[in-house]
Structure 1
Amino acid sequence: MLQKNLPSTLSFKEIAAKASLAFVINLLCAGDAVAHTAEGGFVLLLPTDIYIASGVLAVALTVAMLIVLPDSFVSLSFKNKRLWRATNLQVLPVRPHHLSSLLSALFLFWLIYIGLEGPRDPLANPLPLTVWTLWWIAFVTVQGLFGNLWRWVNPWSGPVWCFQALFGRSMRLRYPAWLGHWVGVGAFLALVGFVLADPAPTDPARLARVVAAYWAVTFFGLILYGPRWGHRADGASMMLWLYGKVGLFARRGAHLRLGLNGWQLVSLRSVPFGVAVLCLLILGSGIFDGLNETFWWLDQLGLNPLEFPGRSAVIWQTLIGLVLTNLAVVGLFAMALWLGLRLGRSQMPLRRALCLFAPTVLPIALGYHVAHYFTSFLVQAQYALAAATDPWARGQDLLGLGTFYVSTGFFNTQDSVRVLWLCQAGSVVIGHVVALLLAHAVALRHVETRVALTQVPVAIFMIFCTFFGLWLLASPRGF
């Protein structure tokens, strides 16, 4: 269908090749400049087939090692070590995380105000840069790598504590049990849909209204239903809680503990079914986030990637693609689990297997999140720093940085691009290796017979995800 909009002499591969060449020439001719980068990666004219094959081989060799090595090796990999006793601060009149939450809420209110009244340029207004660069990209990564920091900076626990200290808890209602975690699952999908399908998710005023509405709904939900609203209906907090379970550090009792990423998930008995589905939706949404920008996807929509008509022209197509991709991921993972249980002759119900094994895909989602947004963060973090020193775009220099220029010089040479690609590819491969180890460790704890056989279909699913993730990183982008 793409050829209808282009001269008949050009094939799709020729279009992609010319677009890639033009992109690289543009990079080679660029110096330090005020530039903007797309959400995803960039076209890499490197031997990507070798990198993809190497990444898939690394994951496949990990599977082979799991078969050869004793089970004790996997179990020991996720042992945690006690570091030190956490300081008891309960004697203070205000809990420290409530105080930090209050400060976070005040900062968010200021961001909303500046989003409504400040500069209209998304690359100069602190609100879009804070939400999409510092929170959506950087904070999610830090949460997944190190542990649950969201408890300290979420903008609700402090204001809710203040409200209840003034007015009591007489307004508390019982959260409907029949809703389960599905409100939170819907909220997460709505958030991703806004990121991917909204015509202008970075417009400061538009984003300010969305952020204010989400904060207000969550605040009153916590007032009315208590912490259960945060655990079952706040999609953003549920996502961050799950990523926090992948982190290196966690508090257990009075002590801080350290272990390999994912060690907290091994100790979980299982998660509720709605949370298990959310784990798979996090992975599926991340995959579609990369897929919907590729030439291949635009070709399926019958669009010329070199004359993209804008996000407003593909709103419903994007939402449908998001839903279909997530259904495919959930369906394929469930099928892999079902085949594994049949091969291993396990009597475990499929629903229980999903609740046990779905969290093991979170390292894959985190690895792809880091890879997908890595180059975007390198550029947009510089805009965030510039906005911090001049939040009203009035030529101020609050941080004393002097004249500030955003640099994209690291895109200009093959050596620097190679380093960027290796960082991206490495995060994808490491995420899959950790996920394989994690799934095997969970199987050792909960599967009664033929553990290795039950994991073969799951391993195939993860190897396919590795190949697909690396292919997405190297694919030409249409917008």
Structure 2
Amino acid sequence: MSERDGPGVGVAGRRGAVWTVALAVASLIFSAPALAHAGSLAGSLRSVPAPFWLVVVSGGGVVCVSFLLSAFVTDDETLNAFERVGVRIGGLAGGVPTAAVAFKLLGVAALVLVVAFGLFGPPVGIANLGVLLVWVGWWAGFTMVTYLVGNAWPLVNPWRTLGAALRGRFGETWGLPRSYPNRLGSWPSVAGLLGLVWLEVVSPLAADPQALATVVVAYSLLTVGGAVVYGDAWFRRADPVARVFRLYGLLAPVQRGDDGGLSVSVPGAGLARARERLGADDVAFVVALLWVTTFDGLVVTVPWGRVLDAAGPAPAWLANLVGIVAGYLVFLGGYRLAARAARRTADTYVTVGFVAGWFAPALVPIAAGYHLAHFLGYVVGLAPALVAVAASPLSPPANPSVLAVPAWFGGLQLAFVVLGHLLSVWVAHARAFDLFPGRLQPLRSEYPFVAVTVGYTMASLWVVAQPTVGGVAG
């Protein structure tokens, strides 16, 4: 960027930022509320109000403004400070092995409880400890802790613990572990993630404890078997759950080093610092994580109900299968097109695959923002039910208490989604300056990714703002 070009870009960027922020503020003040979606367990939570047109228009506008603001910060010193800032805690000794054993035992005990109460506990989902542990305590609450604090899943993972124990007992006799087939790459985890979310959608796993227990047992047999045969490589490459937590853990402020020590830094620094380029299979998994978060909210909306009605005689499970696969291909195709366009706008000899793999970690904050927006009200609303049922799991209350989130919570949901996108833009900005030289070439490489991010933002916030099935249209 030349000296002459710099001031002009700065003035235009500042003016654009001021006008867009003013538009967003005015929208917040004058817009009328419409219904927005909030996740629930068997319909235990209701939709919350949020301004509809603000969701679509200013959501994309804020992402554009964030890029303009980040474009002002193009010196290596500031970007490196973002990556390096933090506090380093040295290698921890003493109580850590004991704590690790405690975490492992806790994970195995939780798995046993889920299966036992799923098979033999109360038949009502909201009064069943196994159901509440899976959806409220683990997939909602524990996942939030993973990207907001740090990733403890490698210690808690019960399938990893059981697999290691069985491998230690029989591995030498059976000649285990074996090398993971490189030809498979990470594609099994992509298919597994899409399959798990599709199964969640078409099966009553949140309402039928026995169905949930059956799925958990089947998944446990497959995962423990893979861990016994292939060791930790199974969790690095093939297990979708472990890979989701690993990606979310890179977003967290607390990171664990190779020496066992901990470091505390700004959220997203772990993604910005990662120097490896993801392969095509890993890029596909990151995009799948982003898509399934959106699809999980889409399937309970009125527009998706109309799609299922229009499918006519086709069974709902087939329509949902086509929907999740088709939507994923659209998301993946959009990202690949952005990578191809970024290679042209950056005017580089770096391959399209390299560009796609280099910027893919920047999508993780978007998925985390959607997850937080979708599940925070879920956890808050169902936390009293979880506590009450855990206190008396064999004779739980007939109607556990459920909190209703306040009306202003819809705005909070939107804020989480937008914050996730803002952090995504900043991570992409830092990674662009690590890959390309100068000041203008990195910015040019980001143009297509900002465009596709705005598209993701507007589409997903549109989903958030839709009335749920049985709700009131906005």
Bin of the TM-score, shorter chain as denominator length: 0.7 to 0.9
Q: CA deviation at 1:339?
A: 0.7
1: CA distance, partners of 2:216 / 2:420? 31
Q: Does 1:191 align with 2:181?
A: no
> In the alignment, which residue of structure 2 is the partner of 1:379?
381
**Which one-letter code corresponds to 1:382 in the other structure?**
P
2: CA distance, partners of 1:394 / 1:371? 29
Distance 1:473 1:394, change over 3 A: closer
2: CA distance, partners of 1:271 / 1:386? 44
Distance 1:224 1:195, change over 3 A: same
Report if aligned partners of 1:199, 1:315 keep a CA contact under 8 Å in 2. Answer: no
> In the alignment, which residue of structure 1 is the partner of 2:118?
115
Cα deviation per residue 1:8-57 (whole Å; 9 max; x = unaligned)?
xxxxxxxxxxxx89x99xxxxxxxxxx9664887152x533235444333
Q: In structure 2, the residue corresponding to 1:49 is in which secondary structure?
A: helix
Q: What is the 5 A alignment of 1:79-158?
A: 79-89=84-94, 96-158=99-161
Q: CA deviation at 1:213?
A: 1.5
Q: CA deviation at 1:76?
A: 2.4
> In the alignment, which residue of structure 2 is the partner of 1:76?
81
Q: CA deviation at 1:388?
A: 0.5
1: CA distance, partners of 2:383 / 2:278? 35
1: CA distance, partners of 2:202 / 2:85? 41
Q: Does 1:474 align with 2:465?
A: yes
Q: Does 1:285 align with 2:285?
A: no
Structure 2: where are the runs of 5+ without partners? 1-33
Report if aligned partners of 2:42, 2:125 keep a CA contact under 8 Å in 1. Answer: no
Q: Does 1:332 align with 2:339?
A: no
Report if aligned partners of 1:346, 1:448 keep a CA contact under 8 Å in 2. Answer: no
Distance 1:190 1:181, change over 3 A: same
1: CA distance, partners of 2:44 / 2:433? 39
1: CA distance, partners of 2:300 / 2:399? 31
1: CA distance, partners of 2:402 / 2:230? 48
Q: Does 1:406 align with 2:396?
A: no
Cα deviation per residue 1:49-91 (whole Å; 9 max; x = unaligned)?
235444333222111112233333333223242332131249x
> In the alignment, which residue of structure 2 is the partner of 1:352?
354
2:63 paired residue among 49, 59, 66:
59
Q: How big is the alpha-carbon RMSD for the aligned residues of Structure 1 and Structure 2?
A: 2.8
Distance 1:262 1:178, change over 3 A: same
> In the alignment, which residue of structure 2 is the partner of 1:15?
none
Cα deviation per residue 1:415-462 (whole Å; 9 max; x = unaligned)?
x312x1121011001100000000111111113461111101101111
1:456 paired residue among 427, 447, 457:
447
Q: CA deviation at 1:129?
A: 1.0
Distance 1:159 1:99, change over 3 A: farther
Q: Does 1:267 align with 2:273?
A: yes
1:361 paired residue among 360, 363, 385:
363
2: CA distance, partners of 1:425 / 1:295? 19
Question: Would you say how many aligned residue pairs link Structure 1 and Structure 2?
Answer: 428
Q: Does 1:212 align with 2:203?
A: no
Q: CA deviation at 1:130?
A: 0.9
Report if aligned partners of 1:386, 1:404 keep a CA contact under 8 Å in 2. Answer: no
Q: Does 1:302 align with 2:309?
A: yes
1: CA distance, partners of 2:137 / 2:321? 25
**Which one-letter code corresponds to 1:83 in the other structure?**
R
> In the alignment, which residue of structure 2 is the partner of 1:445?
434
Q: Does 63-72 or 109-118 show the bigger shift?
A: 63-72
Report if aligned partners of 1:184, 1:233 keep a CA contact under 8 Å in 2. Answer: yes
Distance 1:74 1:40, change over 3 A: farther
2: CA distance, partners of 1:233 / 1:294? 31
Q: CA deviation at 1:187?
A: 1.6
2: CA distance, partners of 1:394 / 1:76? 52
| TM-score where L is the length of structure 2 | 0.83
2: CA distance, partners of 1:198 / 1:329? 24
> In the alignment, which residue of structure 1 is the partner of 2:7?
none
1: CA distance, partners of 2:114 / 2:350? 49
Cα deviation per residue 1:213-262 (whole Å; 9 max; x = unaligned)?
21122112111111111111211111111111111111224431122222
**Which one-letter code corresponds to 1:431 in the other structure?**
G
2: CA distance, partners of 1:136 / 1:207? 13
Q: Percent identity?
A: 26
Q: In structure 2, the residue corresponding to 1:258 is in which secondary structure?
A: strand
> In the alignment, which residue of structure 2 is the partner of 1:342?
344
2:162 paired residue among 159, 162, 167:
159
Q: In structure 1, the residue corresponding to 2:127 is in which secondary structure?
A: coil
Distance 1:36 1:114, change over 3 A: closer
1: CA distance, partners of 2:363 / 2:464? 19
Report if aligned partners of 2:382, 2:402 keep a CA contact under 8 Å in 1. Answer: no
2: CA distance, partners of 1:409 / 1:82? 39
Q: In structure 2, the residue corresponding to 1:302 is in which secondary structure?
A: helix
> In the alignment, which residue of structure 2 is the partner of 1:426?
415
Q: In structure 1, the residue corresponding to 2:256 is in which secondary structure?
A: strand
> In the alignment, which residue of structure 2 is the partner of 1:13?
none
1: CA distance, partners of 2:418 / 2:443? 21
1: CA distance, partners of 2:130 / 2:233? 29
Q: In structure 2, the residue corresponding to 1:83 is in which secondary structure?
A: strand
> In the alignment, which residue of structure 2 is the partner of 1:235?
240
Q: CA deviation at 1:100?
A: 2.0
Cα deviation per residue 1:86-105 (whole Å; 9 max; x = unaligned)?
31249x9x664344213311
2: CA distance, partners of 1:266 / 1:366? 16
| TM-score where L is the length of structure 1 | 0.82
Report if aligned partners of 1:283, 1:364 keep a CA contact under 8 Å in 2. Answer: yes
Q: Does 280-289 or 159-168 show the bigger shift?
A: 159-168
